[in-house]
Structure 1
């Protein structure tokens, strides 16, 4: 999906403030998802792209998300949190809680 970006995907990537970095993280993520044999629907992918774009924006603007109550993520597998953590490490200046939000994308894609 990365090579043939749909217009909506390009629009979301452009909002990141650094399209090149956003594409780099998305390319890494796509390879990561492939190795984990996780396939996202087009809607899930666009939601994921939007989240990564927001993460890139927060990273370069050093904006933190509000702290989360981690208990609400108790149903999320450690595998998904670990995958999200790995992708979050591709960017600097992110709040540690970002991985919990990102992990939801993996959990929902695993249900496909």
Structure 2
């Protein structure tokens, strides 16, 4: 296992806010939105992804088969967002896809 880098909360928050801004635009293009509760969950998840991206910390193992029912559009959005970090594994997209699956149509 690699060493986990030291990163400030300011760096994590800056990266998370940049990605969250992009998510807002992606959802707008898809004519979708998140409820206030869903947005709070997305914010927390993106901040955790930013931390993992900057520190090199990995995810615990999980069963990818649990995500077989995720729609192609939700997975595409999730993969797009995960790619914004530049260094996160695709299994991050699986976890994030749940948020996009739950987004509501306008």
**Displacement of 1:79 after TM fit?**
1.2
* Matched residue, 2:62: 68
SS at match of 2:103: helix
Q: Which whole-Å CA distance do the structure 2 matches of 1:65 and 1:109 have between them?
A: 24
| Matched ranges for 1:1-112 at <5 A | 17-110=11-104
Higher relative contact order (CA 8 A, sep 6+): 2
* Matched residue, 2:4: none
Would you identify which runs of 4 or more consecutive aligned residues in structure 1 move more than 6 Å?
Answer: none
Q: Which whole-Å CA distance do the structure 1 matches of 2:101 and 2:27 have between them?
A: 12
Q: Which whole-Å CA distance do the structure 2 matches of 1:63 and 1:16 have between them?
A: 17
Q: Please, what TM-score do these two structures have when normalized by structure 2?
A: 0.84
* Matched residue, 1:8: none
Q: Deviations over 1:22-44 (max 9, x none)?
A: 11101011001111111110000
**Displacement of 1:68 after TM fit?**
2.9
Contact 2:19/2:81 (8 A) holds in 1: yes
Using the TM superposition, name which of 61-70 and 22-31 deviates more.
Answer: 61-70
Aligned length: 99
User: RMSD of the TM alignment (CA)?
Assistant: 2.0
Gaps of 5+ in 2: 1-7
